């Protein structure tokens, strides 16, 4: 079961056209990035950052397109998406 879950995660990762960079300690937990990611590739952390907020983390099983919609919505410049070079 675990192997098949890992295989699915690896498959999705291969399908991803990009990734996100998250500066968790700049995040103020507004949730815009999680809410507006078109592929639902983000969720909130269970732990807290230095400011006391839950911050976004990438869901490995979801494909990230690198569209940077998360970055466009973030008021605190805490996250941005980027496309892999092979997909630019």
Interface contacts to ligand SF4, rule CB under 6 A: 18, 20, 27-33, 37-39, 41-42, 55-56, 64-70, 73-74, 76, 78-79, 81
- Please, which residue, 4 or 88, has the CB nearer to ligand SF4? 88
Instruction: Please list, in sequence order, all residues whose beta carbon lies within 8 angstroms of the beta carbon of residue 60, skipping any fewer than 6 positions away.
Output: 9, 12, 13
Element (H, E) at 44: strand 42-44
- Please, which residue, 8 or 15, has the CB nearer to ligand SF4? 15
Residue 3 Cβ, how far from ligand SF4 at the closest point, in Å? 26
Rounded distance between C-alpha atoms, residue 56 and residue 67, angstroms:
16
Q: Which residue is nearest to ligand SF4 (CB)?
A: 81
Residue 9 Cβ, how far from ligand SF4 at the closest point, in Å? 16
- Please, which residue, 60 or 76, has the CB nearer to ligand SF4? 76
* Rounded to 5°, angle at Cα 74 from 13 and 78: 70
20 CB-side CA count, 13 A: 31
């Amino acid at each position: 079961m675990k192997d098949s879950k890992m295989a699915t995660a690896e498959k999705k990762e291969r399908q991803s056209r990009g990734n996100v960079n998250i500066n968790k300690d700049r995040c103020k937990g507004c949730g815009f990035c999680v809410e507006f990611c078109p592929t639902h590739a983000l969720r909130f952390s269970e732990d807290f950052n230095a400011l006391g907020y839950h911050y976004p983390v990438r869901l490995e099983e979801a494909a990230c397109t690198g569209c940077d919609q998360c970055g466009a919505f973030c008021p605190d410049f805490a996250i941005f998406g980027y496309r892999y070079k092979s997909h630019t």
